[in-house]
Structure 1
Amino acid sequence: MTDDSLRSVTVERTSTGHFTATNTRGGTLSFGTGSDSEFTPVELLLAALGGCTAVDVDIATSRHAEPTGFTVTVTGNKVSDDQGSRLTDLAVTFAVAFPDGEGADRARAILPRAVKTSHDRLCTVSRTVEIGTPVTATVTDA
């Protein structure tokens, strides 16, 4: 792998049950255990699934027409069993509306293909989840 392929974030504890993730560009995102309004790690995974495909679909369709509504809902069931805690039945649902007009008709026509192409090939997040990738966890000196 090259440096161009490496993606990383750093997660730092800010207080009990609260954390901040920082990307290499300096962006930050706070999250926690769900004891308040902050996103939980599971909700961040759901957001990443929806967000990744949303970006792909938006790029493909909005070059033809600006949507009048664009909502992506991502759901999954959290289970704990002999395989541990995990999500099952993940579903990404798009509700996208376009105004009247020729460009909008084209955007509506390509919407299903854009969603499928993102799911099947482009969205790194959903491809990683579906295919499965080993995760290693190690401890180093602070």
Structure 2
Amino acid sequence: MSENSLRHVSIERTGPGRFTATNARGGTLAFGTGADTEGGTDFTPVELLLAALGGCTAADVDVATARHAEPAAFTVTVTGDKISDELGNRLTDLAVTFSVGFPDGAAGDRARTILPRAVAVSHNRLCTVSRTVEIGTPVTATIAQA
């Protein structure tokens, strides 16, 4: 694995059921278990996964379409059913739905024309998050000395 390919975040416990993820650039994101601590509005890990699925494709689609026309509306909704079965807890029926509108005119028409292909190319080839989920990648969990 080359130095340029490695991605990582570190996660620190900040309180009961609350955590902060920090990326290599120093950005932080608070999340939790969804319990009613401090308002209970923090994202859960499952919600972060859904956001990553939608956000990855949204970024690809935005780059492809916004060079032609700035969208008048751009919303991505990501859903999945959480189940527990003999395989353990997991999500099924993951769906990423785009609702994007462009202004009238030639530029908007071009962006509308590109939209379906941009969504498909992102989903089928570019989006690292959805590609990883769909293809399936083993995950290892280890314990390091504290």
TM-score interval, normalised by the smaller of the two chains:
over 0.9
Q: Per-residue CA shift, 1:44-69, capped at 9, x if unaligned? A: 00000000000000000000000000
Q: Which runs of 5+ in 1 are unaligned?
A: none
Q: Does 1:87 align with 2:76?
A: no
Q: Per-residue CA shift, 1:110-135, capped at 9, x if unaligned? A: 10000000000000000000000000
Q: In structure 2, how many angstroms separate the alpha carbons of the residues matched to 1:116 and 1:140?
A: 40
TM-score by length of 1: 0.99
**Other-structure match for 2:21:** 21
Task: Give the letter for the 1:6 counterpart.
Answer: L
Equivalences for 1:82-121 in 2 at 5 Å? Answer: 82-121=86-125
Q: Count how many residue pairs are aligned between Structure 1 and Structure 2.
A: 142
Q: In structure 2, how many angstroms separate the alpha carbons of the residues matched to 1:129 and 1:17?
A: 25
SS of 1:43's partner is: helix
Q: In structure 2, how many angstroms separate the alpha carbons of the residues matched to 1:68 and 1:26?
A: 32
**Other-structure match for 1:12:** 12
4+ runs of 1 displaced by more than 6 Å? Answer: none
The structure 2 residue matched to 1:140, chosen from 117, 141, 144, is 144
The structure 1 residue matched to 2:46, chosen from 35, 42, 53, is 42
TM-score by length of 2: 0.97
**Other-structure match for 1:2:** 2
In percent, how many aligned pairs have the same letter? 74
